[in-house]
Amino acid sequence: MTKLLALTSVLFFSFLAFSNDSKISLEKYIDTWKDVAINQMLTHGIPASITLSQGILESGFGNSALAVQANNHFGIKCHDWKGETFLKDDDKKNECFRKYDDAAQSYQDHSLFLTTRSRYSFLFELDITDYKSWAKGLKEAGYATNPQYPKRLIDIIERYELHQYDVLGANDYLADNQSQTQSEGNETVTPKETKVSKGKKTIKNGISAQKSESTKRKVYTNSNRTKYVIAGKHDTFYLIAKEYGFSLRQMNRWNDFPPNKDVLSEGDKVYIMRKRKRIDNAEVEQKIGQMNNLWELSQDLGVQLKSLLEFNTENKPNVAMTKAFSIE
């Protein structure tokens, strides 16, 4: 992505000088994708101006080889991708990039890429129209290594007045978010205490489950009186946070997500309240050898990771497990 960004930055505005050689003009690109960007803003909470400016910069407004041949407008590399791929020289020779059936999928995947990786979670605490802070935050979170990345995004947004699309979508987004938060605050959760709608309750192995009518998702309570939900297929941190009316930062804090926990897997426990400090010593000692690391044990028991780390240090510390968590 670094070489692609550097090359795009040098040639970016010069593209306008030979638009006859370009299949898509910058203005046409904006007109084509502005509604998609606004939709992504309403669905995922990413400013439309940021999505558009990144697409413009990363893809040479749709004319780069990666955009033309792989429908990839954001330079997203393969990582854990299981779909088709496109090989291209970047920081290294023949690096793997994601390939899409159409460019609209690239826009959707860009949103999922940001909302499912915890290192970007702080961005969603920003005002949805604060494109300058978003641009700087993307660089801070490691989306790009070029120190000029924020400035280039901001220049594009202001030169082509892309911030107007943030304003167009902001009222709808904020109204929807406020309405959903109020609804879920009454029926499902508040910042201080998790609540669920009345429904059938089942108890098994010390775990109770109650169906939330407002979200159609089961809320479980473990033996440590800690409430959580189970991540389904394609669930994201953002979707669950929005569903229950709290922030990504809260969810990260409640779940002690380690840096490598960027993507939710089906079956993951996601706590919708702060985990307990209380530890059942016998239960911890019984399970401490069954888990790969302390974070998994923390999620399994509904106990704050800090408490487990203190317990592990004081009670014949399991050095391997402590190191495993630290490394990850």
Query: What DSSP assignment string belongs to 267-284?
Result: T-EEESSPPBS---HHHH
The total domain count for the chain is 2
Percent of the chain with pLDDT over 90: 36
Question: In terms of Cα–Cα distance, which of 171, 168, 170 is closest to 46?
Answer: 170
CATH of the domain at 80: 1.10.530.10
Q: Do 34 and 71 lie in a common domain?
A: yes
**CA–CA separation, 314 and 49 (whole Å):** 51
* Residue 95 belongs to some domain of the structure: yes
Strand-pair category, 207-212 with 269-271: unpaired
Task: Report d(CA 86, CA 146) in Å as an integer.
Answer: 23
Q: Give CA–CA dist 176/164, Å, rounded.
A: 19
Q: Who wins on pLDDT, 209 or 237?
A: 237
Domain span including residue 244: 201-327
Instruction: Tell me: do 210 and 163 sit in the same domain.
Output: no
Is residue 192 situated within a structural domain?
Answer: no
Could you read off the pLDDT of 249-265 as tens digits, one per residue? 788 888 887 655 656 77
Joined tokens for residue 313: 């240090």
Residues 32 and 165 in one domain: yes
Half-sphere exposure for 315 (CA within 13 Å, toward CB)? 12
Greater model confidence, 166 or 175: 166
- Which tens digits make up the pLDDT trace of 62-73? 999 999 999 999
Report the first-to-last Cα separation within the chain, whole angstroms. Answer: 24
**Confidence class for position 36, pLDDT limits 50, 70, 90:** confident
* pLDDT: which is higher, 248 or 301: 301
Q: What percent of the chain has pLDDT over 70?
A: 67
Residues 13 and 151 placed together within one structural domain of the fold: yes
236 within a domain of the structure (yes/no): yes
pLDDT exceeds 60 at position 244: yes
Closest Cα to residue 1, out of 56, 66, 69, 45? 66
**Count of CB atoms within 10 A of residue 228's CB?**
23
Whether 286 shows a pLDDT value over 70: the answer reads no
Q: What per-residue confidence (pLDDT) applies to 185? A: 45
pLDDT at 150 over 60: yes
Dist CA 84 CA 103 (whole Å): 14
pLDDT of residue 199: 46
Tell me whether residue 79 is exposed, middle or buried, using C-beta atoms within 10 angstroms of its C-beta: 0 to 12, 13 to 18, 19 or more. exposed
Task: Tell me: do 39 and 149 sit in the same domain.
Answer: yes
Residues 314, 283 contacting (CB under 8 angstroms): no
Task: Provide long-range contacts, Cβ within 8 A and 24+ apart, for 61-64.
Answer: 61/15, 61/22, 61/24, 61/25, 61/26, 61/29, 61/30, 62/23, 62/24, 62/29, 62/32, 62/103, 63/15, 63/22, 63/23, 63/24, 64/4, 64/8
Final residue in a domain of this structure, among 179, 209, 225: 179
Q: Are residues 166 and 23 in the same domain?
A: yes
Looking at residue 228, the DSSP 8-state letter turns out to be: E
Which amino acid is it at 65?
A
The whole-chain average pLDDT of the chain stands at 77
Q: Does residue 144 carry a pLDDT above 70?
A: yes
Q: Residue 119 phi/psi, 5° resolution? A: -70, -15
Residues 243, 108: one domain? no
Query: Tell me: the pLDDT tens digits for 126-142?
Result: 988 999 999 999 999 99
Q: Which helix (H) or strand (E) holds 39?
A: helix 26-44
